[in-house]
C-alpha cells in the first residue's frame, strides 16, 4: 500500500463558494479513485485566489489582518468543503475510511531571501493599468501572472519543517485520509523557542513536497489544469513530456520553459521530493486524470535518473 501526497491547486477550486464546492466534488472523485486503489492519501491544497479574497475582506482602515491568520482561515474554509465532499463520495462508493483535516503550521527561516523579493501571487486578477494604479495607491507589489493578468504578490519562503508532521504521520499510518498543509500551511518562525506567525504565503507545492519527505511518502502528485508538463508551451513545436529525470528538468528550467508562479514551482517541488530519497517518484498531471497518472497513462513522471 503506497502513501501518496496529493497537491491540489487553489485556482482549480474556483473563485467563490459555489464554484469551490463544485470543484471539491470533482477533486473528491479523483481522490476516491486513489483510495479505492488501496493507497493511503494525504491532500494538500493551494489557496491563491481564496486567501487574497479573505485578506481583502478582513483588512479595514483600522486593522490589517496578517497573512498567517488569513491562511489559517483559508485552511478551514477550503478544508471544510474538501472533507465534506470526500465523506459524501466515500459514502456513495461504500468506502469506509475516516477523513480529517489538520490545521497546519509550517516553519520557515526569517532570513529567507524571499522576504526581500515578493513573488507569490494571491487574490484576484487585474489589468496592467489597474494593477499599476493599485501599486501607486498602496505601495504593494503586483506582477503579471503567467499571461492571466496581474496579481498582488507576497513573500513566499521555502518550508523548513512541518510543525504537525508527527500528528499527520500518525493519522496516515492509521489509514486516515488526511487534509494538511492547506494553502502551504500558516508560516511561522522560531523566536527563542516560541513559534510566531510571519507575514508570507508558502507555495503549496513546496509544502506538499516537504510533507511528503517528512512522512516518508512514496509518491507526490501535483494536480493542476493540464495533463502533462510541456516545453515550448504555446509555440508551434510545443511538446508534452511523459517522463523526465532530474537532469532533464534542470536543463528545461535553465532554458526557461516553465513560467514562474505557474509550472516552475511545481517542477521544482517535484524535483525536491524525488531528490529526497531513493525510489521517490513525483507526477504532475490533471485532477481528472489522477487515477490514470498512477498507472503511467497520463501526467508527467519525474524520476531521479
- CA atoms of 39 and 32, how far apart (whole Å): 10
pLDDT score, position 168: 98
Q: What is the mean pLDDT of each run of 10 residues along the chain (305 residues)?
A: 89 82 91 93 92 86 87 96 97 97 97 92 84 87 86 91 98 97 97 95 96 96 90 90 95 92 91 94 87 83 92
pLDDT score, position 125: 82
- Given 46, 52, 101, 120, the catalytic residue: 120
Q: What are phi and psi of 94, to 5 degrees?
A: 75, 25
Q: Catalytic site residue 120?
A: yes
> Is residue 222 a contact partner of residue 266, using CB atoms and an 8 Å limit?
yes
pLDDT score, position 101: 97
CA neighbours closer than 13 Å in the CB half-sphere of residue 164 = 22
Cell of 207: 509544502
Residue given cell 491568520 in the structure block: 69
- Given 10, 46, 48, 183, the catalytic residue: 10
Cell of 294: 498512477
Q: Catalytic site residue 10?
A: yes
- Given 40, 210, 266, 281, the catalytic residue: 266
- CA atoms of 164 and 86, how far apart (whole Å): 22
- Given 55, 204, 210, 281, the catalytic residue: 204
Q: Catalytic site residue 204?
A: yes
CA geometry: angle 197, 7, 113, nearest 5 deg: 40
Alpha helices, H only, 37-120: 48-58, 67-93
The candidate with the shortest Cα–Cα distance to 47, out of 75, 84, 69, is 75
- Given 11, 48, 164, 230, the catalytic residue: 11
> Is residue 173 a contact partner of residue 41, using CB atoms and an 8 Å limit?
no
CA geometry: angle 228, 158, 253, nearest 5 deg: 40
Cell of 63: 486593522
Q: Catalytic site residue 14?
A: no
Amino acid at each position: 500500500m503506497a502513501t501518496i501526497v496529493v497537491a491540489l491547486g487553489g485556482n482549480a477550486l474556483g473563485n467563490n463558494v459555489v464554484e469551490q464546492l463544485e470543484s471539491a466534488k470533482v477533486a473528491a472523485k479523483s481522490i476516491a479513485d486513489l483510495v479505492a486503489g488501496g493507497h493511503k492519501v494525504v491532500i494538500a491544497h493551494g489557496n491563491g485566489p481564496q486567501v487574497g479574497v479573505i485578506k481583502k475582506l478582513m483588512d479595514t482602515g483600522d486593522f490589517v489582518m496578517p497573512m498567517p491568520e488569513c491562511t489559517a482561515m483559508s485552511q478551514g474554509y477550503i478544508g471544510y468543503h474538501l472533507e465534506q465532499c470526500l465523506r459524501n463520495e466515500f459514502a456513495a462508493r461504500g468506502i469506509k475510511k475516516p477523513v480529517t483535516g489538520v490545521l497546519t503550521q509550517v516553519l520557515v527561516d526569517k532570513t529567507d531571501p524571499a522576504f526581500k523579493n515578493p513573488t507569490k501571487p494571491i487574490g484576484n486578477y487585474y489589468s496592467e493599468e489597474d494593477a499599476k494604479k493599485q501599486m501607486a495607491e498602496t505601495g504593494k507589489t503586483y506582477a503579471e501572472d503567467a499571461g492571466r493578468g496581474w496579481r498582488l504578490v507576497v513573500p513566499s519562503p521555502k518550508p523548513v519543517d512541518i510543525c504537525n508532521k508527527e500528528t499527520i504521520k500518525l493519522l496516515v499510518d492509521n489509514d486516515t485520509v488526511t487534509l494538511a498543509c492547506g494553502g502551504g500551511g500558516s508560516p511561522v518562525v522560531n523566536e527563542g523557542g516560541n513559534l510566531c506567525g510571519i507575514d508570507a504565503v508558502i507555495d503549496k507545492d513546496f509544502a506538499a513536497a516537504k510533507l511528503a519527505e517528512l512522512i516518508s511518502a512514496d509518491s507526490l502528485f501535483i494536480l493542476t489544469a493540464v495533463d502533462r508538463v510541456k516545453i515550448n508551451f504555446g509555440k508551434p513545436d510545443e511538446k508534452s513530456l511523459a517522463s523526465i529525470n532530474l537532469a532533464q528538468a534542470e536543463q528545461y528550467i535553465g532554458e526557461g520553459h516553465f513560467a514562474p508562479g505557474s509550472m516552475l514551482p511545481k517542477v521544482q517541488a517535484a524535483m525536491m521530493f524525488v531528490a529526497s530519497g531513493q525510489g521517490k517518484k513525483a507526477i504532475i498531471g490533471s485532477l481528472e486524470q489522477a487515477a490514470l497518472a498512477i498507472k503511467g497513462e497520463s501526467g508527467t513522471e519525474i524520476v531521479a535518473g
